[in-house]
Amino acid sequence: MTPQQLISDAGDLISLPEVCVRINQMVNDPKSSAEEIGNVISQDTALSARLLKIVNSAFYGFPGPIDTISRAITIIGTRELCDLAMMTAFCSVFTGIPGNLVNMETFWRGSLTCGSLARALARRSKVLHPERLFVMGVLHDVGRLVIYQQLPAESRDILLISKGRDDLILSAEREVLGFTHGEVGYELARDWSLPGPIASAMRWHHLPDQAESDHLECYLVYIANIVADVLVWDGDLAAAREQILPTAWQVTGLSAADYEQAIPEISSEIRELYSILMGGSESSTTG
């Protein structure tokens, strides 16, 4: 078994909805106009509604309402709206995963926390279009869901070996599978034709110092992932600081004070995004 075979065997279970396939093709086709892409998105009423809720949420904080997809594209850009559409679709792809392997509510809280933190840190790091880090953060652990869904028996072994600890998960995955969820996520990103920086962040969010490209994005998601894990599980932020590679501060130009200041900023943001994407209310992950 290889990551590529795992994605291939999953087949339609992890396929993007047809509308997202079409959007992605059009975004990568210079002949397609923003109006044409907006028309395709608008044909899917459920997707359009969720995207407009996100664009009108506190996450973006625009001063006035945005009531059409074409207007949303004008304001935030075609590529970014496409990435949001992919992320929104991703949230509904993975179903039927045994509850004894993962608590999906906790998983999504962690993913959204990571995404919001990654964007907040990107702003502090003066990254161009920091909103794209949100999608990277939300999707960073998709490989885990593929493994849980396709290989439940092996997943139980991985959880037993790692004792559920995030810092031990990679070695446990290599021992049981011969590859990691980062590699699986990377192959899925390629299968979905996601932009290179998103694929890189999914591949290297635990090992940013090994990334061959998109170093800043990988390090930002890496820091956000460590801090999000602490927030979701009520861990020790001081201990989290000790886990972070010194090169992370050098590459991003950030310090621990940056994520400490960002934490209270994202609390309400996460609650609102969870409600939009999951269709339910959510308690604060940051107290």
Tell me: the pLDDT tens digits for 28-77? 888 988 889 889 999 889 889 989 999 999 888 898 899 999 889 888 88
User: Mean pLDDT in the chain?
Assistant: 89
At 249, the amino acid letter reads W
- What is the average per-residue pLDDT within 70-86? 87
Closest CA to 88 of 32, 23, 147: 23
Written as six digits, the tokens of 18 are 């047809």
- The dihedral built from the CA positions of residue 33, 35, 38 and 39, taken in this order, carries a sign that is negative
Q: Is the pLDDT of residue 7 over 80?
A: yes
Write down the pLDDT at residue 160.
Answer: 94
Half-sphere exposure of 166 (CA within 13 A, CB side): 19
Q: Where are the alpha helices (DSSP H) in the chain?
A: 3-10, 18-27, 34-43, 45-55, 69-76, 78-93, 104-124, 132-139, 142-150, 152-162, 169-176, 181-191, 196-204, 215-232, 237-243, 246-252, 256-278
pLDDT tens-digit profile of 147-180? 999 999 999 999 999 987 877 899 999 999 999 9
pLDDT of residue 280: 46
Interacting residues of 129 by C-beta distance below 8 A, sequence separation 6+:
77, 80
pLDDT at 19: 85
**DSSP one-letter code for 208:** G
Return the amino acid letter for 73: I
State both tokens at 196: 């290179």
188-229, pLDDT tens digit by residue? 999 988 889 999 999 999 999 999 999 999 999 999 999 999
pLDDT value at 239 more than 80: yes
Contacts of 42 (CB under 8 A, 6+ apart): 48, 68, 69, 70
User: pLDDT tens digits, residue range 269-285?
Assistant: 888 998 888 764 343 34
pLDDT tens per residue across span 114-142 = 999 999 999 999 998 888 899 999 999 99
Under CATH, which number does the domain 3-278 receive? 1.10.3210.10
Q: How many CB atoms lie within 10 A of CB 234?
A: 8
What is d(CA 244, CA 284) in angstroms, rounded to the nearest whole number? 24
Q: How much is the CA Rg of the chain, to the nearest whole Å?
A: 18
Query: In this model, does residue 86 exceed pLDDT 90?
Result: no
